[in-house]
Amino acid sequence: LGTFAADYETFLRQHYDNPKSNVGNRYCNTMMVRRGMTRPKCKEVNTFIHDTKNEINAVCGNKGEPFGNGLRRSLKQFQVTTCTMKGTSTRPPCDYRGNSSPRYIVIACENGLPVHFDEGQ
Ligand code: T3P
């Protein structure tokens, strides 16, 4: 795997969940474990995007616009769930609250593929 492809795979693991997984009322706690973001320490904030890879990838192209320092902002709002640690300790077990809403997404792209999630707005 080239480095861009590896970064894209990591982006998908961390930020792509479509359709939104049916894991009951503990979506964030379950998904953060399942996607490998709770070890060795709890990732503090992480956003899952509930849309197709095509729609997300297109933000790197004609469905996004330049934003800030080399980033891309989506032209449409995406349905996302942002998981935020409830406390301040990053020591597992990790406990999250989830916030689901439509947001513009801001990402970094390499070779036309998303490699980093910056923020939702
Ligand atoms: P990554 O670079 O692995 O995509 O900003 C630091 C990390 O926090 C970065 O991880 C993105 C993630 N993050 C979200 O996923 N959603 C958010 O709303 C914010 C602010 C950060």
pLDDT in tens, 8-52: 999 999 999 999 999 988 999 999 999 999 999 999 999 999 999
Contact 62, 12 (CB under 8 A): no
CA distances from 9 to 1, 14, 67, 112, 117 (A): 10, 9, 23, 13, 13
Q: Which amino acid is at 86?
A: K
Predicted TM-score of the model (pTM): 0.94
The catalytically annotated residue of 8, 15, 47, 58 is 15
Q: What is the CA(2)–ligand 1 centre distance, in A? A: 22
> In angstroms, how far is the first alpha carbon of the chain from the final one?
32
Q: Is 96 in the pocket of ligand 1 (CB under 6 A)?
A: no
In the chain, DSSP assigns E strands to: 45-49, 64-67, 71-74, 78-85, 96-103, 105-110, 113-120
**Residue with CA nearest ligand 1 atom 15:** 46
ipTM metric: 0.93
Q: Is 119 in the pocket of ligand 1 (CB under 6 A)?
A: yes
Annotation says 116 is catalytic: yes
